[in-house]
Amino acid sequence: MRRAVALLAAVLLLAGVAGCGGDGAEPGVPKGASLVLDFTPNAVHSGIYAAQAKGLYGNAGVDLQIRQPGESSDAPKLLAAGRTEFAILDIHDLGIARERGLDLVGVMPIVNAPLASVIARADGPVRRPRDLAGNTVGVTGLPSDEAVVDSEVSADGGDPAAVDEVTIGFNAISALAAGKVDAATGFWNAEGVALRGLGVPVRIFKVDAYGAPRYPELVLTTSRQTLRDDPQLVDAVVAATRRGYADAVANPDRALDDLLAANPGLDRADQAAQLQALGPDLRPRPFDPALLREWAVWDLEHGLLQRRVDVDAAFDLSR
């Protein structure tokens, strides 16, 4: 009799463990996950920190760790290897990762417009993109910079081959402030805002005004395996992040408080100016499949990719 009772107890115990799920998590305990940012924390990430500060991830059942990218970290590889569940990727990097065989999927746009631009000194010879021909343009050395210059000059009726591109790394602010170049590639929400804050007169030419579609620059991304194996986790993180960005747009001062509380080394005035510049481009929206297909064509035409991205495979359009 005792043996029968013991066997029954063992069966019930095993059934209880199975009911908790394969990862052994206790019911009601938040599931651990991490999100790798694309860059050091800044106003672009305000919605994520707002969601974290307000407990939106925890309320959705997720214990989310926000991680800054390290010098040697490669977010696409971390995603593919299962070393992080989520990452913020530049949309071009997502396309390149998929071209290299990494099955990553964009699940939510973070910024709903391209951030890339050409920034020219307003007191210099460049009054519009076609004026870049025959003048010096500082570029970081990344292929995306060449694509931006090519797109803008071509769309404005100029000759991209006549542009004198000079590699300056990520020093657009100092190079333009010192007048070392006539123009430089940079993000209008970062370098553009910083230059104006320094009192440097600039003209900013956004790439979606000159040839490029209005694609989402930054994308919340996961792996196909995470999307397949734990769709509830993906749903929870997307929903909480959307709510965080909606709150950041509606209450920017409070979102700045949350960002600076988590990252006290940031300058509030700088981040406030960046957040104001971003404005409604941070408003959470679903992906627009038509714009994504236009982006895939643009990346192919400008040499960023060797073949057109399969938009239906690269993005989860159901959310």
DSSP, res 43: G
For 200, counting Cβ atoms within 10 Å of its Cβ (0-12 exposed, 13-18 middle, 19+ buried), the class is middle
What is the reported pLDDT for 7?
Answer: 35
Of the candidates 52, 113, 54, 116, the residue with the CA atom closest to the CA atom of residue 282? 113
Distance CA 314, CA 227 (A): 12
Domains defined for the chain, CATH in brackets:
30-113+216-314 (3.40.190.10), 116-209 (3.40.190.10)
* Token representation of residue 74: 């490669």
Of the candidates 102, 317, 115, the residue with the CA atom closest to the CA atom of residue 216? 115
Distances (CA, A) of 260 to 34, 111, 215, 230, 267: 20, 20, 29, 32, 8
- Regarding beta strands 218-223 and 202-206, do their DSSP bridges make them parallel or antiparallel, or are they unpaired? unpaired
- Using the structure block, give the residue that is written with the tokens 């081959």: 161
The answer to whether the beta carbons of residues 76 and 102 sit under 8 Å apart is: yes
- Is the dihedral angle over the CA atoms 102, 112, 295, 302 positive or is it negative? negative
pLDDT, tens digit only, all 319 positions of the chain: 333 333 333 333 333 333 333 444 555 688 999 999 999 999 999 999 999 999 999 999 999 999 999 865 699 999 999 999 999 999 999 999 999 999 999 999 999 999 999 999 999 999 999 999 999 999 999 999 999 999 999 999 999 999 999 999 999 999 999 999 999 999 999 999 999 999 999 999 999 999 999 999 999 999 999 999 999 999 999 999 999 999 999 999 999 999 999 999 999 999 999 999 999 999 999 999 999 999 999 999 999 999 999 999 999 998 8
Q: What is the dihedral of CA 104, 75, 68, 206, to 10 degrees?
A: -70
Distance CA 181, CA 158 (A): 19
Give, to the nearest 10 degrees, the angle between helix 91-99 and helix 289-301.
70
What is the reported pLDDT for 29?
Answer: 82
What is the reported pLDDT for 319?
Answer: 82
What is the reported pTM? 0.89
**88 SS3 class:** strand
What is the reported pLDDT for 11?
Answer: 35
DSSP, res 207: G
